[in-house]
Chain A
Amino acid sequence: MMADDWTELYRPQGLSEVVGNPKVIKDLRQWAISWEEGHPVHKAVVLMGPPGVGKTSAALALAKDLNWGVVEMNASDQRNAEAIKRVAIRGSRSETFTDEGEFLSSKDGRLKLIILDEADNIFGREDSGGIPAIAELVANTQQPVILIVNDFYELSRKSSAIKNSTLQLRVSRVQAGTMRNVLRRIAIDQELEVPQRVFETIIENSNGDMRAAVRDLQAVGEGNLNMDEDDAFVLQSRMSVKSMYDLMRDILHDSDVRRARRTQMDVDETPDHIMMWLDENVPLEYKDPEDLHRAYLHLSRSSMFLGRVYRRQYYGFWSYANDHNVIGVCSAKSRPNRGWVQYRFPSYIMKMSRSKALRSMRTGIARKISEHTHNSTRRSAQDVLPYMTEIFRADREFRVSMINEMRLSTEEVAFILEKKVDSSEVKKLMIESEKARALKERPESPAVPAVDDKEEKPEKRPEPKGKQASLFEY
């Protein structure tokens, strides 16, 4: 009938409609009341939890309940310091306009809820300064602020201000029973007859993600007036992660090579992805070192075929990679493992994506070193950075001089020292090197009239005097 998105259509209209997590809802309401009364202990709340459990819904519902305005930013916005300052801080200070532009006197102006959605996504991007801006916001805001994150760890590690001055509420996955009730209500509203089996499959696949469950219900249910049990299977085959677990069991736990092959063909996954999954899980099942070694011989071969696919852009080699993955690894075991093993998503992929920001920070520093030491970035990262880090941590004079010579940023200094960006140590050090630079520059700039001295902005740094840098500018 209608192309409405059910996840929007059935979004809770008030806090009482938000399902699950009663304690979080209670705390959130209490925090809001403290703002209404004008004495919030915490100016900002962090809602943390997995996707689709109602974090954004709860924030929006809260605003609705209390008739607050809403200023919303999410990761798709340009999340740099400027943008946050512009929208969030200005929005928070001006009490006289609603977001619709409606005029209100500051006295009876409504509060405005500032929602920073996906606030943990600020990492690994070219938006340095974003974290200090958030820290400033949560400390100085005149309006209630909610930060929404999947993973709070990174954010809290980078800034103690964000960690210490916010109220953190952990939103848990929605329980099956709760989910069943919601899905039933939606089904009734849509006048759908949904077989029990379909409900259960949706719930099982969703893994506590309410939004995913509603989306799936819409996927099988919309316009489908004669739903039957088979519709559940349509869903199941779309859920490739689940099938990947099945494939792991068939290859690693059992010894029926033919069935493993069948499962592999049912699973819509590329051999390189299957290889990564096997790589993660082989050691959990193959406890005999002989078995493990044999399995890795096949993964190694599989990876060679994949390399050839990549080089020649000839996908014919995929089948050989698949056979090494399935037949090779499955037959590598001398006997099936009896114990039960919980398979895991490839941790390497996760670790790599989590450490992306770290790695790009390292590369950035190495690039600065390389301009200074007649080296490549790679060699600087490997041969110079480890030593420089040690000297840097141990010697004050060296720190100050290197910060100025290489023009290291606050974030980079914090990274080298393994301290937080807004820690007093890093702050002091940056001020100190600022002073040292000012002192050093003065006698060297006779071209600048003395009058301008005072006005010189600290950001104005001279071009580096390093030998190689000037060569490259040729």
Chain B
Amino acid sequence: MQEIWTEKYRPHKLSDVVGQGDIIERLSSYVRSGNLPHLMFAGPAGTGKTTSALAMAKEMYGESWRNNFIELNASDERGIDVVRGKIKEFARTAPIGGADFKIIFLDEADALTQDAQAALRRTMERFSRNCRFVLSCNYSSKIIEPIQSRCAIFRFRPVRGEDIKRHLKTVADKEGVIIDEDALDAIVHVGEGDMRKSINSLQVAATIGKEVTIDVVYQATGNARPDEVVDMVNTALSGNFSGARAKLDEMMITYGLSGEDIIKQIHRSFYDLDMPDREKIRLIDRTGEIEFRIVEGSNERIQLESLLAYLALVERD
């Protein structure tokens, strides 16, 4: 094993992108026509947004794709000024190899604040003569309307289980890993339609042994991603507030998870809870209120703790 498999097996051609049939067809026709509108790729993690953008650039520009394609990350680059600076620099020079325009891929565009997005909109206008923007985000609704209206929006859906399975099998074959049907199903279940997560799980499982069984999968994913949030929620529901809080601290401090990440996982964990739906929706509503308070700028740890205190109360009656 020398590489991270998600990189090793990242498709280079649009037609190899898994599970986004209609979108891929559209993108391929852009490539054929040699023209491109501004695009927005919306969808959850691991569904092929970045991969599609990269593959499209490679098909469009061939050898010279690196000269005509820049990848920026809105959550990493500090502030819109840095993003704009890089875009300006990149857009200054003409496309290479006879292309009409360059492509600017802006990942996690929904990480930009409203103000930053407004600035981005002006930048898009300024450089649209020789640049096309591909924005990627989890939710298109977090992108301001003027930008949305300038883009063709593609919604990437969670990859279907059977598609993930087929792809995992291909990878396993190439790596000489023997994996049975149950184990594949287990990875798909844990992966929740996220191809990156699924391949990562497979690779971790393969380090345990060349024969991957369902037990190996759960051992592997359990080691890498123990379900701490579910653990915390159950501890709170059992009435042990302090125990739940200790787990919360561990996640926030040691693993550096943000309050927003944790509250989303809490929300998701409720679907699997064994309790009446009327009760469940009360918990969910409360969770939404807490997320609102976090987003509004209050102390996220205090908010999460107040949710845990609420959970500690629920099971009692």
Asked if A352 is at the interface of the complex by the 8 Å CB criterion, the answer is: yes
Question: 5 tightest A-B contacts by CB?
Answer: A394-B207, A307-B297, A296-B306, A307-B298, A387-B200
Mark out the residues of chain B between 237 and 269 whose CB falls within 8 Å of any chain A CB in the assembled complex. Answer: 239, 241-242, 245, 249, 253-258, 261
At the interface, yes or no: B185 with Cβ under 8 Å from chain A? no
Q: With A391-B203, A398-B1, A401-B3 as known contacts, state yes or no: A358 contacts B297, CB within 8 Å.
A: no
State whether the Cβ of B169 lies closer than 8 Å to any Cβ in chain A: no
Min Cβ gap B131→A in Å is 13
Q: How far is the CB of B85 from chain A (nearest CB, A)?
A: 12
Q: Take A283-B241, A348-B301, A377-B76 as given contacts and tell me if A299 and B66 are in contact as well, using a CB distance cutoff of 8 Å.
A: no
Q: Note all chain B residues with C-beta closer than 8 A to A362.
A: 256
Contact with B along A270-296 (1 / 0, CB 8 A): 001001000100010000011011011
A310 close to chain B: CB less than 8 A: yes
* A279 neighbours in B (Cβ, 8 Å): 301-302, 305
Binds A, one of B18-26, B154-162, B309-317: B309-317
- The residue that B253 contacts in the complex, of A304, A352, A468, with Cβ under 8 A, is A352
A264–B60 Cα distance when bound, in Å, is 67
Whether the Cβ atoms of A387 and B203 lie closer than 8 Å is yes
6 A-B residue pairs with Cβ-Cβ distance under 8 Å, sorted by A, are A304-B298, A348-B253, A374-B71, A379-B45, A387-B201, A474-B86
Establish whether residues B76 and A395, one from each chain, have CB atoms under 8 Å apart when the complex forms: no
A216-233 residues at the B interface, CB under 8 angstroms: none
> Number of A residues whose C-beta is below 8 Å from B?
62
Please pick, from A292, A355, A397, the residue contacting B309 in the complex, using a CB distance under 8 A.
A292
Q: Which residues of B contact A375 (CB under 8 A)?
A: 50, 73, 107
| Interface residue ranges, A against B (CB under 8 Å) | 272, 275, 279, 283, 289-290, 292-293, 295-297, 299-300, 302-304, 306-308, 310-311, 348, 351-352, 355, 358-359, 362-363, 367, 370, 372-379, 381-384, 386-391, 394-395, 397-398, 401-402, 405, 467-468, 470-472, 474
CB interface residues, B 274-297, toward A, < 8 Å: 290, 293, 296-297
Chain B min CB distance to A320 (Å): 13
CB distance A275 to B299 under 8 Å? yes
CB < 8 Å: which of A300, A307, A386, A474 contacts B306?
A300
Distance between Cα atoms of A195 and B298 in the complex (Å): 48
Whether A376 and B298, one on each chain, are in contact in the complex, defined by CB atoms closer than 8 angstroms, is no
Residues of B within 8 A of A (CB): 1-4, 6-7, 10, 45-46, 50, 54, 66, 69-71, 73-76, 86, 89-90, 107-108, 111, 196-197, 200-201, 203-204, 207-208, 220, 223-225, 239, 241-242, 245, 249, 253-258, 261, 290, 293, 296-299, 301-303, 305-306, 309-310, 312-313, 316
Determine which of A283, A379, A474 lies in contact with B242 in the assembled complex, contact meaning CB atoms within 8 Å.
A283
Q: Is the CB of A289 within 8 A of B204?
A: no
Pairwise interchain contact B197-A383, C-beta atoms closer than 8 A: yes
- Give the distance to chain A from B223, nearest Cβ to Cβ, in Å: 5
Contact B302 A303 (CB under 8 A): yes
Residues of chain A within 8 A of B201, CB atoms compared: 387
Q: Are A372 and B108 in contact (CB under 8 A)?
A: no
> Closest approach, in angstroms, between the C-beta of A288 and any C-beta of chain B?
10
**B89 contacts across to A, CB distance below 8 A:** 474
B261 touches A374 (CB 8 A): no
Q: Which of A272, A308, A390 contacts B207 (CB 8 A)?
A: A390
CB-defined contacts of B242 to chain A, threshold 8 Å:
283
Partner of B297, one of A311, A367, A379: A311
Asked whether, in the complex, the Cβ of B306 is within 8 Å of the Cβ of A390, the reply is no
